[in-house]
Amino acid sequence: MKTLQEILYNVHIVAVQGNNDIAVPALRIDSRAIAPGDVFIAIKGVHADGHQFIAKALSQGATAIVCEVLPDERPANVCFVQVSDSALACGIMAANFYDNPSQKLQLVGVTGTNGKTTIATLLFNLFTKLRFHCGLISTVENRIGNEIIPATHTTPDAISLQALLADMVDEGCAYAFMEVSSHAIHQQRIAGAKFAGGIFSNITHDHLDYHKTFDEYIRVKKMFFDGLPSSAFALTNLDDKRGNVMLQNTKAKKASYSLRTMADFKGKILENSLTGLIMQVNEKEVHFRLIGEFNAYNLLAVYGAATLLGQDKDEVLQALSAVTGAEGRFDYIVSDRERVIGIVDYAHTPDALLNVLATINNLRKGHEKIITVVGAGGDRDTTKRPVMAQVAAERSDRVILTSDNPRSEDPGAIIKEMETGIPVNLLRKTLSIVDRKEAIKTAVSLANPEDIILVAGKGHEKYQDIHGVKHPFDDKQVLKEMLALLGK
Ligand SMILES: CC(=O)N[C@H]1[C@@H](OP(=O)(O)OP(=O)(O)OC[C@H]2O[C@@H](n3ccc(=O)[nH]c3=O)[C@H](O)[C@@H]2O)O[C@H](CO)[C@@H](O)[C@@H]1O[C@H](C)C(=O)N[C@@H](C)C(=O)N[C@H](CCC(=O)O)C(=O)O
Ligand SMILES: Nc1ncnc2c1ncn2[C@@H]1O[C@H](COP(=O)(O)OP(=O)(O)OP(=O)(O)O)[C@@H](O)[C@H]1O
Ligand SMILES: N[C@H](CCC[C@H](N)C(=O)O)C(=O)O
Ligand SMILES: [Mg+2]
C-alpha cells in the first residue's frame, strides 16, 4: 500500500498539518463512501462544496483530508493537506495511487460536440481487429477486451478513471481509447492522465447550461489540447471553423484531416448510400459499412489516429472497411412487408439532428416521406430546444415532438419550448405527444411503404429518466415492435 506522502507526489501543496507518512487504502471524493482509513478530497462542485462534508468524512473514519480551505476543527490524529486546487490534486493523486497506468499503455482521447463515442468505438473495434488488446471508455459502455463495464458518465471521475485504466493495464491492454467530455476537462477528471494522442471532431451548440457561453465552451475544449505532452499527437478536423484554434497552443505534434481542403489525412466521398460509403482516402478507394457524411469524418479521424499511432496505412484501411459503428448511432431496421425504414440515432443536439436528417435526405430516392420523432432532455441546455424542433420541421415531412429524459422537468413544458422554434407555416406537419411510446406508435401508423422514420435523441439508452427514476425504455425495441405490427 502506498503512503499519503507518495501519493502526493507532483501535487501543488500549500501546507501540510500532521503525519503524511500513513498508508492509504482508498481515495474518496464522496464523504458517503468513506471507510475507516480512507483519504477524503474535498472538491467544490456544481451543487455542493465538498468542504461541507469534511466533518462527515472524519466521523466515518477518514485519516487524512485534502482541501483548499482548512476547516477550523482539526483533530490531531488526522493529516490535513491544503492544496491550491483540489480537483487537480485529485487527478494527480488518483494517478499516483494507481501507479500511473496511462504511462503503461497508449491512451488516446477524443473531444468535440459530436462523434466522440463513434470515433472512440471505431478505434477500439479497429485496434481489436488489428489483434491488440484494448480498453474503451465511452458514453455507451466501458470495455476491457470483451468484458463490458457499465458506464455512468461519458468520462468517469478522476478516481474511477485511473482505477479503470489500471485494470486495463493489469489485463494487458496496449491501447485505451476514451471520450473526453467538456465537463470532464473543466472538472479536471483527466488530470494525471498522460495521453499519446488527442482528437478533435467538431464544436457546435451544446451544454451551454453548464459552460454559459460558446466562447467558454471552446476555451474548455481547447484546454485538453493545451495540456497534451510533446510526445503526443494532436489531430484536428480542418473543416470545422475552430479546428485550427484547438491546436494553436499545443506542444503535441499537429496533424489534420479534411474532406474539403489539403490535410495530412484527406478524404473524398465517392458514393454515400444506405449500404455504406465509398471513399477515396489518401488516393485509395475504400468501401466502409458506416453511412453518412459525418461518418466519413469519423472514419478519417480514426484512419489518421491509427496512422499516427504507427499502424500500417493499408492494413488500417482494410480492417476499417469491415468495422461497424456504435450502438444507437444511425442504427436501422426495415419492416418486412411495407419496407418502412426505422432509424434510431443519438442525435440530441441541433447540429447532430441536422446531420442525420441531411444524411437521410441525401439517401432517399425521392418519393419517401421522412417522419421524425424527437424530444429534448430535461435539466440540460434549454436554448437548444426550439432549434432542434425547427431543424426537425424544416427537414422532415412530419414531426412528432415528444419526451426525451424529462429528468426533474415537466415534459409538457419542454415540448412547449420546442414548439416555439417551429416556423408558423410548418406547424401543420407537427404533432406533440408526450408519451414517447405513443409518439413512436403514431409515427409508424403515419408511414406508407418505404417511408423513413427517424427516432432521435436517445440512441443506445435503455431507460427514460423521469423525476430521477429510470424507467426501462429502448427506442430500437419499441420501434421494432411497432414496425412488426405494420400491415397486420
Ligand atoms: C454537472 C456535473 O458534471 N456534475 C458532476 C459533478 O458533480 P457536482 O459538481 O454536482 O457535485 P456536487 O454534488 O456539487 O458535490 C461536490 C462534491 O461534494 C461531494 N459530496 C456531495 C454530497 C455528500 O454528501 N458528500 C460529498 O462528499 C461530491 O462527491 C463532490 O465531490 O461531479 C460528480 C463527481 O465527479 C459527477 O458525478 C457529476 O456528474 C453528474 C452526475 C452529471 O450528470 N454529469 C453530466 C452533466 C456529465 O458529466 N456529462 C458529461 C458528458 C456530457 C456530454 O458531452 O454529452 C460526462 O462526462 O458524462
Ligand atoms: N462527426 C460527427 N459530426 C456531426 N454529427 C455526428 C458526428 N458523428 C456522429 N454524429 C451524430 O451525433 C450523434 C452523437 O454521436 P456520438 O455519440 O458519436 O457523439 P458524442 O460526441 O459521443 O456525444 P455525447 O457527447 O452525447 O457523448 C450521432 O447519433 C450522430 O447523429
Ligand atoms: N451526455 C449527454 C446525453 C444527452 C442525451 C439525451 N437523451 C438527454 O437525456 O438529454 C448529456 O448528458 O447531456
Ligand atoms: Mg459520447
Residues 139 and 288 in one domain: yes
- As annotated, the binding site includes 31, 112-118, 154-155, 181, 187, 189, 380, 404-407, 457, 461
Residues 398 and 480 in one domain: yes
Domain that includes residue 34, residue range: 4-97
Residue 268 near residue 293 (C-beta atoms within 8 A) = no
Is 29 a pocket residue for ligand 1 (Cβ < 6 Å)? yes
What residues contact 198, with CB distance under 8 A and at least 6 apart? 108, 109, 110, 111, 180, 224, 225, 228, 232, 233, 234, 235, 250, 252
pLDDT at 119: 97
> Of the residues 322, 345, 373, which one is the last residue of a structural domain?
322
CA of 474 to the centre of ligand 3 (A): 15
Report residue 193 as a C-alpha cell.
Answer: 492522465
Domain count for the chain: 3
Residues 242 and 199 in one domain: yes
Is 298 a pocket residue for ligand 2 (Cβ < 6 Å)? yes
Alpha-carbon span 482 to 446, nearest angstrom: 12
Residues 284 and 209 in one domain: yes
Residues 299 and 224 in one domain: yes
Alpha-carbon span 151 to 147, nearest angstrom: 12
Is 176 a pocket residue for ligand 1 (Cβ < 6 Å)? no
Residues 22 and 144 in one domain: no
CATH number for 264: 3.40.1190.10
Alpha-carbon span 17 to 205, nearest angstrom: 46
Is 38 a pocket residue for ligand 2 (Cβ < 6 Å)? no
Alpha-carbon span 225 to 244, nearest angstrom: 11
CATH number for 70: 3.40.1390.10
Cβ density class 231-262: b for 16+ within 10 Å, e for less:
ebbbbbbbbbebbebbbeebebebbbbbbeee
Residues 67 and 187 in one domain: no
Residues 47 and 168 in one domain: no
> Of the residues 304, 322, 340, which one is the last residue of a structural domain?
322
Can you tell me the ipTM of this complex? 0.93
Residues having CB within 6 Å of any atom of ligand 3: 139, 154, 348, 377, 380, 404-405, 457-458, 461
pLDDT at 488: 66
Residues 338 and 440 in one domain: yes
Residues 261 and 378 in one domain: no
pLDDT at 211: 66
CATH number for 340: 3.90.190.20
Residues 60 and 168 in one domain: no
Is 294 a pocket residue for ligand 2 (Cβ < 6 Å)? yes
pTM score of the predicted model: 0.89
Helices within 10-70 (DSSP H only): 54-59
- Nearest ligand by distance to the CA of 475: 3
Residue 149 near residue 143 (C-beta atoms within 8 A) = yes
pLDDT at 208: 67
Report residue 6 as a C-alpha cell.
Answer: 507518495
> Of the residues 270, 289, 322, which one is the last residue of a structural domain?
322
Is 468 a pocket residue for ligand 1 (Cβ < 6 Å)? no
Residues 462 and 368 in one domain: yes
**Below-70 pLDDT ranges, the chain:** 205-211, 487-488
